Structure 1
Amino acid sequence: MSDSAAEEETRRVYSPDEEHSFPDEKLNRVLAFIDEDEEITTYLEAQNINAVDRMRYNDHGSKHIEIVRNRALCLYDLLKAGNVDFNGARQQGLDEADESVIIALAATLHDVGHVVHRDQHAYYSIPLAADILDRILPEFYDVAESVRMKGEILHAILCHHRSETPLTTEAGVIRVADALDMESGRSRIPYEHGGRGINTLSSQAISRVSLQQGDSSPVLVEIAMTNAAGVYQVDNLLKAKLEGSGLEDEIRIVAVNTNETREQLVERIEL
């Protein structure tokens, strides 16, 4: 395996062509559909205007959504391989194949509320996402299934906000995956425009996030940081989202300071 292939395997990128620990045919059809959807594409572009252009906040646009959705699906794959129970679709009488669709659609639409305002965006996302789902879900589900899927997706969207408690494993995955988009590229634009707030500086200190199968838990998340400022991303943001997600015992997080040229205030953090 080449170095680049090995790195991609460690970082994990969801590929429809690979084998997964869950039924993926329906998910792959939904992903192909939404990737070509003009309304969704426009929302993902427009939602960055308030967040980045007007408020100098970290990226919440198309790239953020791509990363969050990818990491959510990779988390889901690892958790399924570890026999973690997913209750959202099951308790609604939906199929196992619908678990990943809930996760993918929630990850895609969780930040659309930014087109209204960055503040309280999770609550603005609900009516906007509901309208989109009313159009998309009937392409794949009957009326009763669409209603149940819509409820589960909206629950996961709402619960990516730390003030709300996930009641399903699917929602817990979205909550954690959202916090795993923390690498330096996310804060590039506000940093280049002079942004020096803690969110920007701490993100600049994160060089790499990788997901892999763990030894003591189904998932091991390894975070490489080049500066102690990265502690804020790990301890204040990621830890806060992991707590209450329902996945605290399933995901092990290790952050290591890889900067060997300076005296290190922090060498390693483990959650």
Structure 2
Amino acid sequence: MKSPKELSIEKRILEQLVPGTTSHKIAELLMENEEFQLMQEYANTVSIMRLGYNDHGPVHMRTVTRNAVTMTTLLHNAGVALNLEKEKSGTLDDSLCAIILASFFHDLGMAIGRQDHELHSATLALPLIDSVLAEVFPGRPDKRIIIRSLALEGILGHMANRQIHSIEAGIILIADGCDMQKGRARIPMELNNKPRAGDIHKYSANSIEQVRIEPGVDKPIRISVEMSSDVGFFQIEEVMLPKMNMSPVKPYLELHAGITGEELKKYL
């Protein structure tokens, strides 16, 4: 059974999409599919219970989807064309289809392990992507090929350890990095208080109070991060900035971060 938080995020995703579009239909199909849900849940079990990492399951993957759709909308509203539009290979809605698929499946590989999980995610996601695209694009192999390729680029590139080239894939990187609020680290913090390598990730994430994605002043997208203590700057400088530096979306971003109640530091 889905949690109230999952249902709330799903509602917000659908509210941002235009009813009757293919991207809206794909989002509905992903949310309704029991097998997809079970795969996300098991990836989360392995991530938290076996590996001691934070949330990499249904809530996280839906949050990344919501973040990605929000950023896509902000770019479009600012007149920024995504790659499919610029290359005349597809429409904005085609790009949204790929972005939603990549966001929804990018961490499935955590069911196997952390190392190379983006590669395992692509392997696990490929038949799922094919089945969804076959349903929404019957008789359109051109659409299926383009959207599948773009979605896989987004999945493979979300760890910022390989070069990506499309704005669509670059959105996944940033959308993933923006899911850093303290709720994501709550369960690992409660389960394990023994010191271990990598603890800085959960402690720094636990200090992040709020992440806002909104229209920027000088750039199309402003990301504002508020934290309860300066340990949260680890999330900014060691997690978020490396993702931004590898993302084709970087020229369109403003990044501000700081302790709640104090003036935020401008990074970008």
Shorter-chain TM-score category? 0.7 to 0.9
Equivalent residue number for residue 127 of structure 1: 123
Report the residue type matching 1:48 in the other structure: N
The one of 147, 150, 153 equivalent to 1:155 is 153
- After TM superposition, the structure 1 stretch with the greater mean CA deviation from structure 2, 214-223 or 192-201, is 192-201
Does 1:140 find its partner at 2:136?
yes
User: TM-score of the superposition, structure 2-length normalised?
Assistant: 0.88
Q: Deviations over 1:78-119 (max 9, x none)?
A: 111111121146537223311111111100010111111111
Cα distance in 1 for residues equivalent to 2:20 and 2:65: 15
Cα distance in 1 for residues equivalent to 2:253 and 2:150: 22
What SS class does the counterpart of residue 225 from structure 2 fall into?
strand
Q: Structure 1 pair 258/95, CA: closer, same or farther in 2 (3 Å)?
A: closer
Cα distance, 1:14 vs structure 2: 4.0
Cα distance in 2 for residues equivalent to 1:89 and 1:124: 29
The one of 93, 98, 104 equivalent to 2:100 is 104
The one of 218, 221, 226 equivalent to 1:216 is 218
What SS class does the counterpart of residue 249 from structure 1 fall into?
helix
Equivalent residue number for residue 172 of structure 1: 170
User: TM-score of the superposition, structure 1-length normalised?
Assistant: 0.87
What SS class does the counterpart of residue 222 from structure 1 fall into?
strand
Equivalent residue number for residue 85 of structure 1: 81
Does 1:183 find its partner at 2:181?
yes
Equivalent residue number for residue 113 of structure 2: 117
| Greater per-residue helix proportion | 2
Cα distance in 1 for residues equivalent to 2:62 and 2:159: 18
Cα distance in 2 for residues equivalent to 1:93 and 1:193: 48
Cα distance in 2 for residues equivalent to 1:269 and 1:220: 13
Which structure 1 residue ranges, 5 or more long, are not aligned? 1-12, 261-266
Contact 1:225 1:259 in 2 (8 A): no
Q: Structure 1 pair 97/24, CA: closer, same or farther in 2 (3 Å)?
A: farther
Does 1:63 find its partner at 2:65?
no
Report the residue type matching 2:145 in the other structure: V
Equivalent residue number for residue 229 of structure 1: 231
Cα distance in 2 for residues equivalent to 1:175 and 1:55: 22
Q: Structure 1 pair 192/135, CA: closer, same or farther in 2 (3 Å)?
A: same
How many pairs align? 252
Q: Structure 1 pair 42/79, CA: closer, same or farther in 2 (3 Å)?
A: same
Contact 1:52 1:189 in 2 (8 A): yes
Percent identical residues: 27
Report the residue type matching 1:213 in the other structure: P
The one of 176, 199, 202 equivalent to 1:200 is 202
